[in-house]
């Protein structure tokens, strides 16, 4: 799915598409819009379905949908139904993929596994020797 | 001394490791137990590899003793002890040594004298930490020995020598 580019090629490619990429990040970087995208990953939804699932007011939901449609992450092929585009799915999958192999996830995982306190037995043996 | 908080610290240590009951043959805080033997072993490796290690250690005047409680401690009474020094980036290390990178954490740092290490240590751990809204974040504790305040020649026999204690802490989670 991903082509390996050198750092120079990567920077150049990102710089050439800077505004477009920034618009996509801004569109996804909102908890309600991300929720809409995730909801649409499971299938087409009506405005009412989305309103129910996102718990958004009518106007707010309409605004978020317009933003996502404008950037072609979702579309509305049939009257009343919204659908994630192949680009929308591609970006969500890329994010999930990057996170899955990231150090952030790794360190959070380790943090959860390792967290804890001394047992009473250990405290007693460690400090209780006076 | 009033404890201080150190934020987002990552200890990267290089040293020697013991796993077991360090006091199986000699009591706590004596020179015959396994921890003292570990320091001796560490000293030997250090001496043998001085040229390499001198470049690696951040401050060769500060030694650390890390105590980690594993999950099985209750049944086995065995735990990990590492005696070490702090390092930066390294390319190679002596075969007898290990690197330990501890999780990024906030630490409470306090200092006790050798003479009242148990009383003050216990007070800080059991009283000061919870009373100030903290709890231990990870099941380990680090003791720091700074050469200017802990003379290795007199060591545990000098009640005025000082030991620094680092306990990883986090704010108590209210459920």
| pLDDT (average), residues B43-56 | 92
More confident residue, B117 or B29: B117
| pLDDT (average), residues B91-108 | 93
Structure-block tokens of residue B158: 């000098």
Q: How confident is the model at residue A10 (pLDDT cuts 50, 70, 90)?
A: confident
* Closest CB to A117 among B73, B74, B135: B135
More confident residue, A1 or B153: B153
Per-residue pLDDT tens over the stretch A85-125: 999 999 999 998 888 877 777 666 666 667 688 888 888 87
Average pLDDT of every residue of chain B: 89
| pLDDT (average), residues A18-26 | 92
pLDDT at A8: 87
Give B-chain residues touching A111 at CB under 8 angstroms: 103
What DSSP designation does B174 have? P
- Of the candidates B79, B75, B78, B67, which has an alpha carbon nearest to the alpha carbon of residue B13? B67
- Give, in degrees to the nearest 5, the angle at Cα B77 between B22 and B127: 90
Owning domain of residue B65: 4-171
| pLDDT (average), residues B103-130 | 88
pLDDT at A111: 67
Between positions 56 and 115 of A, the ones with CB within 8 A of B are 107, 110-111, 114-115
- Of the candidates B21, B139, B26, which has an alpha carbon nearest to the alpha carbon of residue B78? B21
| pLDDT (average), residues B11-16 | 96
- Of the candidates B68, B57, B41, B43, which has an alpha carbon nearest to the alpha carbon of residue B140? B68
Q: Which residue shows structure tokens 């003292």? A: B36
Residue in chain B nearest A128 by alpha carbon: B118
Q: How confident is the model at residue B89 (pLDDT cuts 50, 70, 90)?
A: confident
The rounded distance, in Å, linking the Cα atoms of A42 and A79 is 19
Q: Which residue shows structure tokens 């801004």? A: A26
pLDDT at A119: 85
Cα distances from B106 to residues A47, A56, B9, B103, B171, in angstroms, run: 47, 39, 6, 10, 10
The rounded distance, in Å, linking the Cα atoms of B169 and A17 is 44
Task: Compute how many other C-beta atoms are within 10 angstroms of the C-beta atom of residue B23.
Answer: 17
pLDDT at A112: 66
* CATH code for the domain of B123: 3.20.80.10
Per-residue pLDDT tens over the stretch B122-170: 888 888 999 999 999 999 999 999 999 998 888 888 889 999 999 999 9
* Closest CB to B103 among A110, A119, A129: A110
Q: How far is A101 from chain B (nearest CA, A)?
A: 19
Give A-chain residues touching B29 at CB under 8 angstroms: 129
Q: Which residue shows structure tokens 């718990």? A: A55
The rounded distance, in Å, linking the Cα atoms of B102 and A105 is 17
pLDDT at A42: 92
- Of the candidates B122, B111, B112, which has an alpha carbon nearest to the alpha carbon of residue A122? B122
Instruction: Please enumerate in sequence order all residues whose Cβ is within 8 A of that of A16, keeping only pairs 6 or more positions apart, or say none.
Output: none
Average pLDDT of every residue of chain A: 86
Q: How many domains does chain B have?
A: 1
Say yes or no to pLDDT of A22 above 90: yes
pLDDT at A3: 63
Say yes or no to pLDDT of A130 above 60: no
The rounded distance, in Å, linking the Cα atoms of A48 and A51 is 5
| pLDDT (average), residues A58-72 | 94
Give the H/E segment covering residue A97: helix A86-100
- Give, in degrees to the nearest 5, the angle at Cα B90 between B138 and A107: 35
Q: How confident is the model at residue A128 (pLDDT cuts 50, 70, 90)?
A: low
pLDDT at A108: 67
The 3-state DSSP class for residue B8 equals strand
The 3-state DSSP class for residue A94 equals helix
Under a CB-based contact definition with an 8 Å cutoff, are residues B18 and B38 in contact? Answer: yes
Q: How far is B41 from chain A (nearest CA, A)?
A: 22
């Amino acid at each position: 799915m991903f082509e390996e580019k050198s750092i120079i090629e990567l920077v150049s490619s990102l710089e050439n598409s800077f505004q477009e990429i920034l618009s996509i990040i801004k569109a996804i970087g909102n908890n309600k819009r991300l929720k809409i995208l995730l909801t649409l990953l499971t299938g087409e939804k009506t405005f009412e379905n989305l309103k129910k699932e996102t718990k958004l007011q009518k106007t707010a939901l309409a605004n978020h949908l317009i933003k996502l449609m404008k950037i072609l992450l979702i579309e509305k092929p049939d009257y009343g139904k919204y659908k994630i585009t192949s680009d929308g799915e591609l970006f969500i999958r890329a994010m999930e993929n990057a996170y899955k192999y990231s150090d952030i996830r790794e360190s959070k995982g380790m943090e959860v596994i390792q967290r804890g306190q001394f047992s009473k037995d250990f405290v007693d043996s460690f400090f209780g020797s006076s | 001394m009033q404890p201080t908080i150190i934020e987002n610290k990552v200890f990267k240590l290089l040293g020697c490791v013991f796993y077991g009951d360090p006091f199986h043959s000699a009591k706590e805080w004596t020179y015959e137990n396994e921890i003292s033997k570990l320091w001796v072993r560490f000293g030997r490796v250090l001496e043998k590899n001085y040229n390499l290690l001198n470049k690696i250690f951040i401050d060769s005047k500060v030694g650390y003793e890390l105590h980690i409680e594993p999950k099985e401690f209750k049944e086995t009474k065995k735990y990990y002890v590492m005696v070490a020094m702090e390092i930066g980036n390294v390319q190679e290390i002596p075969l007898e040594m290990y690197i330990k990178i501890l999780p990024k954490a906030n630490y409470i740092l306090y200092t006790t004298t050798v003479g009242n290490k148990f009383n003050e240590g216990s007070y800080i751990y059991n009283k000061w930490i919870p009373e100030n809204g903290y709890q231990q974040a990870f099941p380990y504790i680090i003791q720091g020995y700074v050469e200017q305040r802990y003379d290795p020649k007199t060591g545990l026999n000098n009640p005025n020598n000082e030991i620094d204690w680092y306990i990883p802490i986090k704010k108590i989670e209210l459920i």
